[in-house]
Amino acid sequence: MPLTSVTKDAAKLTLTVVGDYPVPQQRLWEAFADPRQLERFWGPPSMPATFTRHELKVGGRAEYFLTGPNGEKWSGSWKFTAVHPISSFEADDGDDNVDDQNMPSSMRFTFEATPTGSRVTVVTQFPSVEAMEHVASAMEEGLRAAIPQLDTVLADPAAR
């Protein structure tokens, strides 16, 4: 299983997810940079993601929604604050959840080469301990279900 670790740090108000994959760094980056590939693994299998916008550039936005098994929808968005092709991007939580003080405030995705392929590290920053306690467990559960789907995407030569 490529999901290497999931770590909560209450002192830093972060949730860190690390995954190691037997593919080059460029290929791992492409899976996150292409919305059609990203939506194949961003949501858990029971709540697939649909990206309606994905402008991976500073000042750009990503907008998506997750669809539940009964058709319910939950929307999310990111505002990209830093983009370094192939190595990292950072995004702030979009305006969709402006009234929900429990939502993460930002995420940083880092891609690096390793001796066996590449690694992605996703660090989610929360605005408070209360927010982290409220959301981090559900977010961890969702990521543990969603991220293993990345294996299938990375192995699919047609996805490139």
Question: Domain for residue 125, yes or no?
Answer: yes
Distances (CA, A) of 43 to 47, 112, 127: 6, 23, 23
- With respect to residue 160, please indicate whether it lies within any of the assigned structural domains: no
> Total domain count for the chain?
1
**The CATH number of the domain where 119 resides is what?**
3.30.530.20
* Region of 59 on the Ramachandran plot (φ > 0 left; ψ -120 to 50 alpha; else beta): left
Structural domain boundaries, residue 64: 3-154
Summarised one tens digit per residue, pLDDT across range 52-84 is 999 999 999 999 999 999 999 999 999 999 999
In a domain, 80, yes or no: yes
Q: Which of 38-42, 46-50, 141-145 has the lowest mean pLDDT?
A: 141-145
E strand intervals along 3-152: 3-9, 14-21, 49-54, 61-67, 73-84, 88-93, 106-114, 117-125
Q: pLDDT tens digit string along 25-38?
A: 999 999 999 999 99
Q: What is the pLDDT of residues 124-137, one digit of tens each?
A: 999 888 888 887 77
Model pLDDT, residue 97: 47
Does residue 159 sit within a domain?
A: no
pLDDT of 95 reads 59
What average pLDDT does this structure show over 116-144?
A: 87
